Amino acid sequence: MLRVADTAIGVDVGGTRIRVARIARGGSLGGTLQDRVSEPVQQDRDGFSAQIIRLINAARNDSCRAVGIGIPGRIDGAAQTIESAGYIDVAGMDLPTMIARETGLPTRIENDAMMALVAEGNARPEGATGLIMMLTVGTGIGGATLENGTPWYGGGISGQFGHIVVSADGPLCNCGRVGCVETLSSGTALGQLITKAGLPDTIRAEEIHARALAGDDAASDLLNEWARPFLRAIETLISVADPRLVIIGGGLGVDMTRALERLPRQDKWFNVPIEMALLGDDAGVIGAGLCALSAHAATQSE
Ligand SMILES: [Zn+2]
């Protein structure tokens, strides 16, 4: 039986930072976060392994039953394998077995966007009913799909929404093709647009929004150029999967949602609600903990 007081360690591995916290079920947003720590992520394999075990052991207490880890990249959630992981050198590594061996806690991995979506679905009053899709905007663009609360993996690694092609002659992408939405609407792409516009590279997206609101045409154009390919990608997702809801999260989720609100929506074929993430950047670590608690509960009831 899963006791009310049980917690899990949630780990959110980002391209630049790793966050760890104890997560309990409950609270107004479906999960509560205790003793969160965040530090720059070690990108080499040995450094990363030592770091993640140290952080899990520092965060755990007697209430901890399991570990959940969200990882950016191509993670096969069904097979629990890492196909590729962006900037972190952990491809092919059997992380769940290694963490379980070193900490004694059963461990589950998912794509980081899937972890965020689990938390977001859980946080909404109507719950994770129906088909819900999420796009995360950070250094790159990630994605995930939940069907009635259950992760949908396709053949294994579904969720590579950053590689929806939105321009036939766009920039070259890491995946080897051109014009993927990640090359035009990620945080990296926003940085390139800022440089192209001659703005200081320290300017924050929030400030560009403020300038656009104040009537600065260059700022408006920049935001539109950043968000338009993203809206095209969302419309493609809608045409393929017809979700009930599309959620926008990640470090730049708020800024992208505000930029999308400036654009005209096609009101007939593609009229699905697009909502900002409720949990902001904490969604990944909360979802990782909730996933671990669910997996633990499933093994207890077998
Ligand atoms: Zn691509």
Residues lying with their CB under 5 A of ligand 1, a single-atom ion: 163, 173, 175, 180
Residue 176 covered by a domain: yes
Number of domains into which the chain is organized: 2
pLDDT at 45: 94
Q: Which of 133, 148, 16, 157 is nearest to 74 (CA)?
A: 157
Task: Clarify whether residues 262 and 287 are in a common domain.
Answer: no
Note the pLDDT of residue 181. Answer: 98
Beta bridge partners of 22: 9, 34
Same-domain check for residues 35 and 152: no
Is 75:109 a contact under the CB 8 Å cutoff?
A: yes
**289, 9 contact by CB (below 8 A):** yes
Asked if residue 125 is part of any domain, the answer here is no
Distance from the CA of 175 to the center of ligand 1, in angstroms? 4
Amino acid at the residue 97 = T
Q: 283-301 burial, b for 16+ CB within 10 Å, e for fewer?
A: bbbbbbbbbbbbbbeeeee
CATH assignment at residue 200: 3.30.420.40
Q: Give me the pLDDT at residue 4, please.
A: 54
Does residue 73 sit in the same domain as residue 142? no
How far apart are the CA of 29 and the centre of ligand 1, in A?
Answer: 34
Average pLDDT over every residue of 109-119? 96
Q: What is the pLDDT of residue 60?
A: 95
Range of the domain at 196: 130-277
Mean pLDDT of 243-251: 95
**Could you tell me which residues are beta bridge partners of residue 74?**
84
With 80 as the cut, is the pLDDT of residue 1 above it? no
CA of 266 relative to ligand 1 center, distance in Å: 25
Question: Mind listing the pLDDT tens digit for each residue in 164-201?
Answer: 999 999 999 989 999 999 999 999 999 999 999 999 99
Based on the domain organization, do 202 and 112 belong to the same domain?
no
Residue 2 has pLDDT above 70, yes or no: no
In this predicted model, what pLDDT tens digit does every residue of 49-89 receive, in sequence order? 999 999 999 999 999 999 999 999 899 999 999 999 877 88
Say whether both 225 and 140 belong to one domain.
yes
- Checking if the pLDDT of 126 tops 90, the result is no
Tell how far the Cα of 274 is from the centroid of ligand 1, in angstroms.
23
In a shared domain, residues 110 and 15: yes
